[in-house]
Structure 1
């Protein structure tokens, strides 16, 4: 049935093209009704016959438009516009087979695995080469081959830009607020049509980011040397404490692991790899610092455990990271802020070079820091903390409803319609706390410290200071309620304002100290901010640095690329409307034990049993943790 339909449509299109008077506009492709009644026509010139191929493809796509999958719809529209723009002349199929342009593309399809793609996704019909000694293809064969080839090209271009996972926030987790960075499909076809090297056009659809290419080269290296992968030297989990200036057999393993050469022997003695020298101590101290440990160079149980808490090279991990790079904007900005969540680091990048780097604290597992890109608009010195709806409903309201007396003791203020409100004068058995604004004024106890960096977004997260600096010494720093806490935020402000405003460090500090209340400094040129989740990073020397998959996003991407979407644990939707429910009165001051207020021992125990999370939350927030 399909073959007869195509044959009839080709015949009708040929007839329409042949009857078009010179200099007149080309008639529209035949309608489906006309096609059904069309009869075979006499052979026409080759140029007219080839044009009919594009005309038929356009008509087929228009007729079947409602059946297109969502991700294919844009490709279909692009294909229709493409053939229309070139008078329906095909690009991939000739008289008797594929054109040389198509053959070059086929060879590139075969190399798709080198780019982390699956070659079987880009199979095309076997039509052979277009040569004079081969029989001419039937009209049906030409149409089928051209259409499938063109759509396969566009599928490759989609996949090159992350299109195998079309909606990460829905298919992986709501915190993964990324999307494929598609290239205009018609541009892909136009570039192929005009290119002398079509394979280069296809390769050019992949991300241009330097880190993407480094990951790709690492991936190829792992594939080439899969059987000869370097074995990571492990240190025995149990053993003597290794101290600089002493000898021990485990020191030789330590030296191998860190790549520190054996020191020359003294007074002509043989070099001793088991001797713990100063150069090795420096390397161990750096390793300890990177792991959030005291950099004393002494290898005890904790440091031994850290040496064995390692990841082995994994092509699948690299592919997952390459996929996440496919979702990044083409232009990150010549000057931008890069927060890499699983590294617990924020960097400032200028001209491709890192000019500043600092430790950060990210969201706890139940309140994760999301992945997205936006622009830094304002730096606030001495900021207020405006309490989010979720915290008002889930954390503040229950205590107020029970008559707790700690609200004001923690420096919180409540407003409605621009006027201050006494929270203890409100009947919380009737009132809805979502209708009230709650904030913590500027000051030394403020949860956001002395500076915050805002880039307005639907997740309501930002970078900010914190009074609790000791938490930055931990290796795994998942302590916040979703925002990013910066160890030395004033230095970050200095770096940003020097580049953006030409300010000196003194000017930055003078601005912060000029007013005890909130001071806003608007960016004259908004600075891109990228919240990313890369667990594999490759250095200039090709060495891969692996960090822990703290939120499990790497594993989610791996499952998605393997087609195992049904095995992905997406987690809660942090953007869902906050649900409000009434609570029953339980005592005179359910918050008292958190902040030193009055409450009986029985009430204390009961509240701790039922509200452990709330207890931890408030101790974290008002004990210096921050949001």
Structure 2
């Protein structure tokens, strides 16, 4: 037996000396040596290999399926609006095919680095949101390299890679929309000239409009120059899905929406894919979804909208734009008091009070000193104060004319942003609704409250109205807090999966598109 063992050892040594075999021990040693050179976040890769005894993950016959799945995923990176060049596909392919023993460990680690890069990009985004715009206060949840490598080392690698991208309906629709845009002919239908078209008109532009709507997925509408009832119905549907007034009159705003070019649409799709990756995390059974450029809020229950409403969002100025962030709604305040932010008090109300000391009384407001005592503006020299040193606090008592309306919905956050009612109802009828100081005004606040309270009351309407009728400020806690996602999706989809494109009201999409270009995305 000793002789046989000795003979086997001599044989292996002989094979090694002539290059016929490289034992697993030698391979593991090379991987360990290469892993030892990793720094920064790549140390997570080293930790994974240490946990599996530095065994190979990508090379060797037993790993062929995993290697092929990775290459296929990298080659289709542009389907997700990601830059293929970032993933060095040719270099990965060469590393997987290489039989050069001296490079074995280096190649193994290199492929894991590229896999981790791609997996994190497609799962939680290529870019860091706050580096693009400080008002995009989203924090994507990155999966660690260790967890990713561990995940793909088990089970079906093709399925694992496919499951990295967001599974939300919006993301899947964005992929389909990108594919649809790619299939459009090199000569899409001509733009419809800007000229108002009304029902029953006969005009050459009508035939162009029919062709444009056909390319947008509304079916074959013929080539007639007459704007008939059938076409009017389609136009109203188009206007409705675009967030436009569905009146059937094809004016400048409707024509601009129709004339959005495929290249512009594809750029917006790529930007919105990135945004969806930033909020790719397991959602609660119930959450609130605020889409700033869509001017909408929805309650999502078990993946479906159970409530929707129009909204008014922040004006496009440096101190009033609505930021993007995620928090949790904890309570609502019925018959709220409005504590006027210092910035608004000094900038907007001080000049008015100077001219009319009785203004606050007319608006059911009171002015308080730092000790909390009510003071009469008429007895104070308001000219001695400026926007920057105005020392008084202004509050508005509960009232139907209160700037917050009759209810506000609270998710305490550092931005002092919340959802609330408003007495300015007429603004909800406008197509563009960016008028607030940053908070989100809700068109149907009572119905929103009823929907939220439905989980904790058999008669939510009665519960809410009982508090409301007192005329006094009261707090109603939600028994279970509800996550609130405030996002900025400029491509939205109707129930049939058809895309609608919204205006980039704050210019954030343009910033993201520029950052994606710098990162190598072809848009």
Which 10-residue stretch deviates more, 415-424 or 176-185? 415-424
Q: What is the CA distance between 1:388 and its match in structure 2?
A: 1.9
Q: What is the CA distance between 1:536 and its match in structure 2?
A: 1.0
Q: What is the CA distance between 1:251 and its match in structure 2?
A: 5.6
1:305 to 2:262 alignment: no
Residue 31 of structure 1 corresponds to which residue in structure 2? none
Corresponding residue to 2:454 among 498, 506, 514: 498
CA distance in 1, matches of 2:433, 2:252: 18
Aligned partner of residue 231 in structure 1, secondary structure: coil
1:357 to 2:304 alignment: no
Corresponding residue to 2:135 among 154, 159, 175: 175
1:191 to 2:168 alignment: no
1:545 to 2:505 alignment: no
Residue 343 of structure 1 corresponds to which residue in structure 2? 294
Q: What is the CA distance between 1:127 and its match in structure 2?
A: 3.2
CA distance in 2, matches of 1:81, 1:328: 27
Residue 430 of structure 2 corresponds to which residue in structure 1? 474
CA distance in 2, matches of 1:187, 1:291: 41
Residue 527 of structure 1 corresponds to which residue in structure 2? 482
1:443 to 2:399 alignment: yes
Residue 421 of structure 1 corresponds to which residue in structure 2? 374
Q: Relative to structure 1, is the Cα distance of residues 149 and 401 closer, same or farther in structure 2, using a 3 angstrom cutoff?
A: farther
Residue 10 of structure 2 corresponds to which residue in structure 1? none
Q: RMSD value over aligned CA atoms? A: 3.6
CA distance in 1, matches of 2:240, 2:153: 55
Aligned partner of residue 530 in structure 1, secondary structure: strand
Corresponding residue to 1:381 among 334, 343, 346: 334
Q: Relative to structure 1, is the Cα distance of residues 399 and 261 closer, same or farther in structure 2, using a 3 angstrom cutoff?
A: closer
Aligned partner of residue 501 in structure 1, secondary structure: coil
Aligned partner of residue 86 in structure 2, secondary structure: helix
Per-residue CA deviations over 1:474-517 (Å, capped at 9, x if unaligned) read 1111111111111121111122212343434233223311x212
CA distance in 2, matches of 1:112, 1:275: 45
Which 10-residue stretch deviates more, 353-362 or 390-399? 390-399
User: Does the Cα contact within 8 Å between 1:412 and 1:441 map onto a contact in 2?
Assistant: yes
Residue 79 of structure 1 corresponds to which residue in structure 2? 45
The equivalences for 1:173-572 within 5 A come to 173-195=133-155, 197-223=156-182, 225-227=183-185, 230-231=188-189, 234=192, 236-238=193-195, 242-243=198-199, 273=224, 278-284=229-235, 297=248, 299=249, 303-310=250-257, 311-313=260-262, 314-366=265-317, 367-396=320-349, 406-415=359-368, 419-422=372-375, 424=377, 437-513=393-469, 515-539=470-494, 541-563=496-518
User: Does the Cα contact within 8 Å between 1:262 and 1:273 map onto a contact in 2?
Assistant: no
User: Does the Cα contact within 8 Å between 2:369 and 2:375 map onto a contact in 1?
Assistant: no
Q: Relative to structure 1, is the Cα distance of residues 403 and 501 closer, same or farther in structure 2, using a 3 angstrom cutoff?
A: same
Q: Relative to structure 1, is the Cα distance of residues 288 and 538 closer, same or farther in structure 2, using a 3 angstrom cutoff?
A: closer
Per-residue CA deviations over 1:300-327 (Å, capped at 9, x if unaligned) read xxx4223312222322211100000001
User: Does the Cα contact within 8 Å between 2:419 and 2:442 map onto a contact in 1?
Assistant: yes
Aligned residue-pair number: 488
CA distance in 1, matches of 2:480, 2:188: 47
Aligned partner of residue 562 in structure 1, secondary structure: helix
CA distance in 2, matches of 1:475, 1:537: 16
CA distance in 1, matches of 2:74, 2:309: 42
Q: Relative to structure 1, is the Cα distance of residues 547 and 262 closer, same or farther in structure 2, using a 3 angstrom cutoff?
A: closer
Q: What is the CA distance between 1:378 and its match in structure 2?
A: 0.9
Q: Larger radius of gyration, structure 1 or 2?
A: 1
User: Does the Cα contact within 8 Å between 1:537 and 1:544 map onto a contact in 2?
Assistant: yes
Q: What is the CA distance between 1:80 and its match in structure 2?
A: 2.5
Corresponding residue to 1:127 among 81, 84, 95: 95
Aligned partner of residue 476 in structure 2, secondary structure: strand
Q: Relative to structure 1, is the Cα distance of residues 290 and 512 closer, same or farther in structure 2, using a 3 angstrom cutoff?
A: farther
User: Does the Cα contact within 8 Å between 1:91 and 1:99 map onto a contact in 2?
Assistant: no
CA distance in 1, matches of 2:252, 2:473: 45
User: Does the Cα contact within 8 Å between 1:161 and 1:180 map onto a contact in 2?
Assistant: no
